[in-house]
Amino acid sequence: MTAQTDTPGTVTAVYKVSGMSCGHCEGAVSGEISELPGVTSVTAVAATGEVTVVSAAPLEEAAVREAVDEAGFELVGQV
């Protein structure tokens, strides 16, 4: 799935992250990604390994990967 525009000025992308197993994991991943410029919302779900990111413009996958790595997890790719 490619990035979708939900409302004017926002882009929603869903990423697959491996290694998340609990709420603390979700918080770590969400916290790192939310620091990226333009990000307005991050929802991580450990049970599915999916992270939904809403941003003002499409994000570079390398930047998302670096944020996920910083949280101690691995970005599998965009869903």
Q: How confident is the model at residue 25 (pLDDT cuts 50, 70, 90)?
A: very high
Q: Calculate mean pLDDT across residues 20-38.
A: 98
CB 22 within 8 A of CB 73: no
The mean pLDDT of the chain is: 92
Confidence bin at 61 (pLDDT 50/70/90): very high
pLDDT above 90 for 7: no
CATH code that applies to domain 11-78: 3.30.70.100
Confidence tier at 36 by pLDDT (50, 70, 90) = very high
Q: How many whole angstroms separate alpha carbon 42 and alpha carbon 73?
A: 16
DSSP label at residue 8: T
